[in-house]
Amino acid sequence: MIYMDYNATAPVHPEVLEALLPFYRESFGNPSSIHWAGRRVKAAVEEARDKVASFLRCAPVEVVFTSSGTEADNMAIKGVASAHCGKGNHIITTCVEHPAVLNTCRYLERKGYDVTWLEVGHDGLLDPASLEECITDRTILISTMLANNEIGTIFPIREIGEIAARHRIYFHCDAVQAAGKIPIDCREMNVSLLAVSGHKLGAPQGIGVLVVRQGVKAHPLIHGGAQERNRRAGTENVAGIVALGKACELAQASLSSESARLRELRDRLENGILSSLPDVRINGDREKRLPNTANISFTGVEADSLLVNLDLAGIAVSSGAACSSGTLRTSHVLSAMGVEHALAKGSVRFSLGRENSAADVDYLLRELPEIVRRLRK
């Protein structure tokens, strides 16, 4: 059974699992309690906060733990919009964002906010100059991803951050797909808010982070107790927080070597497919992208059929198109890039990770060509 869908989620790292288990056993206290049981877990939460801050290059006081990357994105966008509605109602984002950002901005549009949706080029890249041209005196937030979850394209975040800083506009970055694959430095990137999800890093599902830089004014999304310095109410997910801290520590230690290894495996996969099958297209820029991600369109094949046949061969990958209520919808990312409908419907994302090997890639390359040929017939 070969798993090549790491951009969807990653398996929990064995060392992360060992780190979190005590917090489902003997270390059970509420971190808000002042007695020994609470103090023990409070110390663990703060240690994890330090590890996350070191990984993301920010101050520990700027780290806010959430339930997911989606919550972090909502907290950033809605929080800034609510806190600064008196100054303006204009938000700038892109057409290729994750639904956590797209649908949050669409929600604000329905509430009367003005949203500018930036286009990308045929290679999936964003032109910072086009972004700056959209800024008005009513602009209160820029929200762009660091790396695209479908095609892996990396946006020019430092340039966008400089533009936002120059115009004194808050800048939110969805870094969920990038964390653990490329370096992240909140200070150098000039971000105001940055979202990360634990389950992409080898932590369990159900834990995320929003970095809120000091001085940023944003209303909380969830009201209640005073947890997370009054930014996010609710008893903390201690085991998840500890797990995320450990996952960040492990990712930081192996980032350079693992990125190089995954890039080599991805190139092996792409070159093997291109050499064995005609009428195949790699979507997105070939250089400015995540080292583990390959989005490939197969002419004359529908992705859902290809996914089923690969699954029967024990290979788990995902599609560039999403099924909803029985209707196949073309990927909004590929559509924004101008990929024709028929080609977009035959798009598959291969995303590699820690447990993948050259043997996995070679097995895929043995199975895939014959499946594609059969489906084309």
Asked whether the predicted pLDDT for residue 326 surpasses 80, the reply is no
Give tens-digit pLDDT for 72-82: 999 999 999 99
| Secondary structure of 35-97 as H, E, C letters | CHHHHHHHHHHHHHHHHHHHHHCCCHHHEEEECCHHHHHHHHHHHHHHHCCCCCCEEEEECCC
The CATH code of the domain that includes 364 is 3.90.1150.10
Give tens-digit pLDDT for 247-298: 999 999 999 999 999 999 999 999 999 999 999 999 999 999 999 999 999 9
Asked whether the predicted pLDDT for residue 322 surpasses 60, the reply is no
Q: Of 251, 281, 304, which residue constitutes the final position of a domain?
A: 251
The reply to whether 268 and 165 lie within a common domain is no
Note the pLDDT of residue 321: 43
Residue range 175-192: average pLDDT? 97
The reply to whether 73 and 180 lie within a common domain is yes
What is the residue-averaged pLDDT of the chain?
96
The reply to whether 38 and 134 lie within a common domain is yes
In angstroms, rounded to a whole number, what is the distance separating the alpha carbons of residues 104 and 107? 5
Q: Is 323 a catalytic residue?
A: yes
Note the pLDDT of residue 328: 58
Q: How many domains does one find in the chain?
A: 2
Angle between helices 358-376 and 238-276 in degrees, nearest 10: 60
- Closest of 307, 305, 284 to residue 294, by C-alpha: 284
Residue range 72-95: average pLDDT? 97
Give tens-digit pLDDT for 40-62: 999 999 999 999 999 999 999 99
Residue range 180-207: average pLDDT? 98
- Closest of 267, 320, 323, 316 to residue 298, by C-alpha: 320
Asked whether the predicted pLDDT for residue 323 surpasses 50, the reply is no
Asked whether the predicted pLDDT for residue 230 surpasses 50, the reply is yes
The reply to whether 164 and 132 lie within a common domain is yes
The reply to whether 241 and 261 lie within a common domain is no
Q: Of 187, 222, 251, which residue constitutes the final position of a domain?
A: 251
- Closest of 277, 262, 287 to residue 365, by C-alpha: 277
Note the pLDDT of residue 325: 34
In angstroms, rounded to a whole number, what is the distance separating the alpha carbons of residues 65 and 155? 25
Residue range 306-335: average pLDDT? 80
- Identity at 8, one-letter amino acid code: A
The reply to whether 189 and 319 lie within a common domain is no
Asked whether the predicted pLDDT for residue 204 surpasses 90, the reply is yes
Give tens-digit pLDDT for 158-173: 999 999 999 999 999 9
The reply to whether 247 and 259 lie within a common domain is no
Q: Which domain holds residue 42?
A: 14-251
Contact 106, 53 (CB under 8 A): no
The CATH code of the domain that includes 247 is 3.40.640.10
Note the pLDDT of residue 330: 84
The reply to whether 272 and 151 lie within a common domain is no
Q: Of 251, 283, 316, which residue constitutes the final position of a domain?
A: 251
The CB density around residue 13, as the number of other CB atoms within 10 Å, is: 20
- Which pTM does this prediction carry? 0.95
Note the pLDDT of residue 99: 96
Residue range 306-328: average pLDDT? 76
The reply to whether 298 and 236 lie within a common domain is no
The reply to whether 197 and 51 lie within a common domain is yes
The reply to whether 264 and 197 lie within a common domain is no
In angstroms, rounded to a whole number, what is the distance separating the alpha carbons of residues 245 and 239? 10
Angle among Cα 76, 77, 78 to the nearest 5 degrees reads 100
Given the residues 58, 95, 248, 323, select the one marked as catalytic.
323
Banded model confidence at residue 320, pLDDT cuts 50, 70, 90: low
The reply to whether 166 and 135 lie within a common domain is yes
Banded model confidence at residue 327, pLDDT cuts 50, 70, 90: very low
Give tens-digit pLDDT for 106-123: 999 999 999 999 999 999
